[in-house]
C-alpha cells in the first residue's frame, strides 16, 4: 500500500518537534478524517533555515509532514510557497489514492506557516 | 523478530488437521456431488457428513436446516434478501441495529432502495441494543429482525434470546449473524430460538470462502440465485466440496473445544488490564458481555493506522477502527454509534486473540504498545498542554 520511502519517513520521521521561538507556525487539519499537522518555521534573510513538525494522523500524514520539512529547508519563502501537495506525494514515490486528499496536507501546512511568518513580519 | 498474530476476528489460521481433511477433495475425490455415478456419490457422502457436523455443532434439529454458502456475507445476504422476497406480501419492514457488519447494513440499505422500511436500533455506550426500542419499533409490517450475536469490532454480545422472545409475540422472524461468536461462546439455535443464523469457516480455523446459513424448518425463504437444485434449491451452484468438508470439521472442533476459551479469556483480561495502565486509554465494548477473544481500546492523541503500522514493524498484527485503515474517511460506524468522539474513534486498537496465543505473546504486546504510543504521542500536536485532554481536535470542531 505504501512505498518504501513513505515507510522510511513514517518509521524515521525527520525534524519532529517544535521551534520555541518560531518565526511562523501553521496548522491545518482534514475535517473528515481528523489528521492534523502543525509546522514551525525559522527564517533568516527570506530563506527557510529550519522546519519542525508535529502531526496527528496516519502513516501517510506523518510521512508527508516529514518529507516536506526536508523539501522546504534552504528554500526562499517564494520557492517554498510553490511547493504543492502533489509534489510532496511524488517525492515519496506516490500515495494511495484515498490518502491524496485525506493525509497529504503537508504543503498546505507549510503555506499556512509561511502566511503566519509574513503576518508577523509586516 | 517475534511474530504475534492478534487479528483473529479478521481471520484465523487454518488448522492443519482441517486442511488434511480437505486435501483428498482437491485430488482423488473430485466427483461432483450432484452426479449419480460412484465418483459423485462418494463425494456426496462427505458433503452430507459435513452438513451433519455443522447441524450438530449448532444443535439444529435437522441436517437440512444447514445451507452452505460462500461465507458469512453471502449467508447474511441470503437470510435478509430471502426473507424479504418470501414475505413481501406480508410486510416490508426490517429491523436491524446500527452496529451490524456491513454485510447486513448494506443489504438492508439495498432493500430500502426497493421500498422496504429499515429501522436501525441505536446502541448504548457498550454497544448493546435497547430492547424497549426494539419493542416500540415492531409493527404489523415487520417481517424480520436481524441482530448480530456478537460484534466484530468491540466484541459486545447482544441479548439475542430476549430479542427472539419479543419477536415471537409478533410472529416475526429473527436472524442472527453468529460469525464472530461461533466457536467462542455457545451457539445453540434452539436455546437462542432464532429462525436463521450465519456462520463462517475462516473465523473458526477453517478455510476461507465457505460458510453456512441455518434456516429453521418451515421458515419462508426465497432463493436469491438461480441455476441449480443444490442446497434445497435455496443456494444453487456446484458445491465447494473441500470447503464444505473443512467447515464441517472446523464446526465439530469449535463446538467441542469451548473449554480452551477459558484460558483465552484470562489472556484477554491480562491484555485489557495491561493496556488500561497507560494514560488516556479506555476500553470499548461491554466490560463483561464480550467475546473471550476481543480487546478494543481507544488510545487518545494517536491515530489508529499509525499505531497498526508501528505494531506491524514489531511483528504484531492488529487492527483498528480508524478511517485510514478502511479506505473510507470515516472512522468505525460501531464506535461512533457507541458515542465516541470522532477523535477518540480514530485512535482505536482492536486485538483479537486466538487459540495459539501464549502468555509470552501478551507480555510482548504489553511491552511494545506503550513504547509505540509514547513515540506517536510525542509527534502529536494534540498531546501535552496544547489541547485539553478529551476534547475534540480543532479541525474536527470546525465541522
How far does the CA of residue B50 sit from the closest CA of chain A (Å)? 39
Question: B9-41: per-residue pLDDT in tens?
Answer: 999 999 999 999 999 999 999 999 999 999 999
A30 touching B, CB under 8 A?
yes
| Residue numbers of B between 337 and 396 with CB closer than 8 Å to A | 342-343, 346, 378-382, 393-396
**Are the CB atoms for B129 and B147 separated by under 8 Å?**
yes
Say whether B37 counts as a known binding-site residue. no
Q: How many residues comprise chain B?
A: 399
* Residue pair B286/B156 in contact by the 8 Å Cβ criterion: yes
pLDDT at B384 over 90: no
pLDDT at B392 over 80: no
pLDDT at B260: 83
The verdict on a CB contact (< 8 Å) between A16 and B379 is: yes
In angstroms, the CA B373 to CA B216 distance is 48
Q: What angle do the packed helices A106-120 and A59-72 form, to 10 degrees?
A: 50
> A33 vs B346: CB contact, 8 Å cut-off?
yes
Cα torsion A101, A107, A113, A119 to 10°: value is -100
Give dist(CA B168, CA B246) in Å, integer. 34
Instruction: Name the percent of chain B lying above pLDDT 70.
Output: 94
Residue range B135-183, pLDDT digits in tens: 999 999 999 999 999 999 999 999 999 999 999 999 999 999 999 999 9
Q: Which three cell numbers stand for residue B96?
A: 436491524
| CA B355 – CA A121 distance, rounded (Å) | 63
B240: nearest Cα among B39, B10, B111, B68? B68
ipTM of the complex: 0.93
Q: How confident is the model at residue B388 (pLDDT cuts 50, 70, 90)?
A: very low
* Touching B: A residues 36-65, CB under 8 Å: 36-38, 54-62
A20-53 b/e with 16+ CB inside 10 Å = b? eebbbbbbbbbebbbbbbbbbbbbeeeebebbbb
| Shortest Cα–Cα distance, B275 to chain A (Å) | 21
Judge whether A20 is closer than 8 Å to chain B, CB to CB.
no
DSSP secondary structure, B32-66, as one string: -TT-SSHHHHHHHHHHHHHHHHHHHHTT-S-GGGE
Nearest-angstrom CA–CA distance, B211 and B247 = 7
| Closest residue in A to B341 (Cα–Cα) | A34
Taking an 8 Å cut-off on Cβ atoms, the answer to whether B324 and A57 are in contact is: yes
Residue B324 pLDDT grade (very low, low, confident, very high; cuts 50, 70, 90): low
pTM for the full predicted model: 0.93
User: Of the candidates B329, B330, B393, which has its C-beta nearest A36's C-beta?
Assistant: B393
Q: What is the mean pLDDT of chain A?
A: 93
Residue B202 counted as an annotated binding residue: yes
| Gap between the Cα atoms of B6 and B12, Å rounded | 9
Judging contacts by C-beta atoms under 8 Å, the chain A residues touching residue B380 are 54-56
Q: So what's the pLDDT on residue A31?
A: 66
A112: left (phi over 0), alpha (psi -120 to 50) or beta: alpha
With helix as H, strand as E and coil as C, how does B167-226 read?
HHHCCCEEEEECCCCECCECCCHHHHCCCEEEEEHHHCCCCCCCEEEEECCCCCCCCCCC
The annotation status of B200 as a binding-site residue, yes or no, is yes
pLDDT score, position A104:
87
Report the distance separating Cα A35 and Cα A42, nearest Å. Answer: 24
Residue A33 pLDDT more than 80? Answer: no
Between A31 and B355, the more confident residue is B355
Residue pLDDT, tens place only, B108-117: 999 999 999 9
pLDDT band at B398 (very low <50, low <70, confident <90, very high): very low
pLDDT one-digit tens code per residue, B217-238: 999 999 999 999 999 999 999 9
- With CB atoms and an 8 Å threshold, state whether A34 touches B313: no
**Between B301, B304, B306, which is nearest A62 by CB?**
B306
The answer to whether B86 is a known ligand-binding residue is no
The pLDDT confidence band at residue A35, using thresholds 50, 70 and 90, is confident
A71 lies within 8 A of chain B by CB? no
B309 and chain A: CB distance < 8 Å anywhere? yes
* B327-341 CB burial, b ≥16 within 10 A, e <16: eebbbbbbbbbbebb
**pLDDT, chain B, mean:** 94
Q: Which of A10, A31, A55 sits opposite B395 (nearest CB)?
A: A31
Strand B142-146 and strand B117-121: pairing?
A: unpaired
pLDDT value of residue B376: 96
Instruction: List for chain A the helix, strand, coil content (%; round to 5).
Output: 45, 20, 35
On the question of pLDDT at B389 being above 60, the answer is no
Partner residue opposite B380 with nearest CB, options A31, A54, A58: A54
Other beta carbons less than 10 A from residue A93's beta carbon: 11
Tell me if chain A has a CB within 8 Å of the CB of B312.
Answer: no
Task: Please report which confidence band the pLDDT of residue B385 belongs to, taking 50, 70 and 90 as the band edges.
Answer: low
The pLDDT assigned to B323 comes to 64
For B346, residues 6+ apart whose C-beta sits below 8 A from its C-beta are A33, A34, B303, B304, B322, B323, B324, B331
Q: Answer yes or no: A102 catalytic.
A: yes
Q: Annotation-wise, does B226 bind a ligand?
A: no
- Answer yes or no: are the C-beta atoms of B34 and B48 closer than 8 Å: no
pLDDT at B395: 42
Amino acid at each position: 500500500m505504501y512505498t518504501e520511502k513513505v515507510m522510511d519517513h513514517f518509521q524515521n520521521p525527520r525534524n519532529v518537534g517544535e521551534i520555541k521561538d518560531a518565526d511562523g507556525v501553521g496548522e491545518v487539519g482534514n475535517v473528515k478524517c481528523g489528521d492534523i499537522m502543525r509546522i514551525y518555521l525559522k527564517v533568516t534573510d527570506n530563506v527557510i533555515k529550519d522546519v519542525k513538525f508535529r502531526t496527528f494522523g496516519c502513516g501517510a500524514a506523518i510521512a508527508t509532514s516529514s518529507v516536506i520539512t526536508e523539501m522546504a529547508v534552504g528554500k526562499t519563502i517564494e520557492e517554498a510557497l510553490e511547493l504543492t501537495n502533489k509534489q510532496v506525494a511524488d517525492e515519496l514515490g506516490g500515495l494511495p489514492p484515498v490518502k491524496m486528499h485525506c493525509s497529504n496536507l503537508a504543503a498546505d501546512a507549510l503555506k499556512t506557516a509561511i502566511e503566519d511568518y509574513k503576518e508577523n513580519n509586516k | 523478530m517475534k511474530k504475534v498474530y492478534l487479528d483473529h476476528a479478521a481471520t484465523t489460521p487454518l488448522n492443519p488437521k482441517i486442511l488434511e481433511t480437505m486435501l483428498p477433495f482437491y485430488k482423488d475425490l473430485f466427483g461432483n456431488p450432484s452426479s449419480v455415478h460412484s465418483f459423485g456419490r462418494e463425494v456426496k457422502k462427505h458433503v452430507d457428513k459435513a452438513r451433519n457436523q455443522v447441524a450438530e455443532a449448532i444443535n439444529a434439529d435437522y441436517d437440512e436446516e444447514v445451507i452452505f454458502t460462500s461465507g458469512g456475507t453471502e449467508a447474511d445476504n441470503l437470510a435478509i434478501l430471502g426473507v424479504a422476497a418470501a414475505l413481501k406480501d406480508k410486510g416490508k419492514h426490517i429491523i436491524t441495529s446500527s452496529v451490524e457488519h456491513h454485510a447486513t447494513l448494506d443489504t438492508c440499505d439495498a432493500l430500502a432502495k426497493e421500498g422496504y422500511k429499515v429501522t436501525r436500533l441505536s446502541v448504548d455506550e457498550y454497544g448493546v441494543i435497547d430492547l424497549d426500542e426494539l419493542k416500540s419499533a415492531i409493527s404489523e409490517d415487520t417481517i424480520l429482525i436481524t441482530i448480530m450475536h456478537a460484534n466484530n469490532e468491540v466484541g459486545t454480545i447482544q441479548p439475542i434470546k430476549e430479542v427472539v422472545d419479543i419477536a415471537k409475540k409478533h410472529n416475526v422472524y429473527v436472524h442472527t449473524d453468529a460469525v464472530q461468536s461461533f466457536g467462542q461462546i455457545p451457539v445453540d439455535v434452539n436455546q437462542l430460538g432464532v429462525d436463521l443464523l450465519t456462520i463462517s469457516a475462516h473465523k473458526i480455523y477453517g478455510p476461507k470462502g465457505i460458510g453456512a446459513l441455518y434456516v429453521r424448518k418451515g421458515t419462508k425463504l426465497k432463493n436469491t440465485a438461480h441455476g441449480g437444485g443444490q442446497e434445497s434449491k435455496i443456494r444453487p451452484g456446484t458445491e465447494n466440496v473441500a470447503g464444505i468438508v473443512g467447515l464441517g470439521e472446523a464446526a465439530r472442533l469449535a463446538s467441542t473445544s469451548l473449554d480452551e476459551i477459558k484460558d483465552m479469556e484470562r489472556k484477554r483480561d491480562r491484555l485489557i488490564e495491561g493496556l488500561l495502565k497507560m494514560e488516556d486509554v479506555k476500553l470499548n465494548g461491554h466490560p463483561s458481555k464480550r467475546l473471550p477473544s476481543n480487546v478494543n481500546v481507544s488510545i487518545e492523541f494517536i491515530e489508529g493506522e499509525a499505531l497498526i503500522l508501528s505494531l506491524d514493524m514489531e511483528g504484531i498484527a492488529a487492527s483498528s477502527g480508524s478511517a485510514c485503515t478502511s479506505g473510507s474517511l470515516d472512522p468505525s460506524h460501531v464506535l461512533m454509534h457507541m458515542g465516541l468522539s470522532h477523535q477518540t474513534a480514530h485512535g482505536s486498537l482492536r486485538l483479537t486473540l486466538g487459540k495459539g496465543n501464549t502468555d509470552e505473546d501478551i507480555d510482548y504486546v504489553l511491552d511494545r504498545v506503550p513504547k509505540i504510543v509514547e513515540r506517536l504521542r510525542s509527534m502529536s500536536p494534540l498531546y501535552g498542554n496544547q489541547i485539553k485532554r478529551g476534547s475534540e481536535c480543532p479541525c474536527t470542531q470546525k465541522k
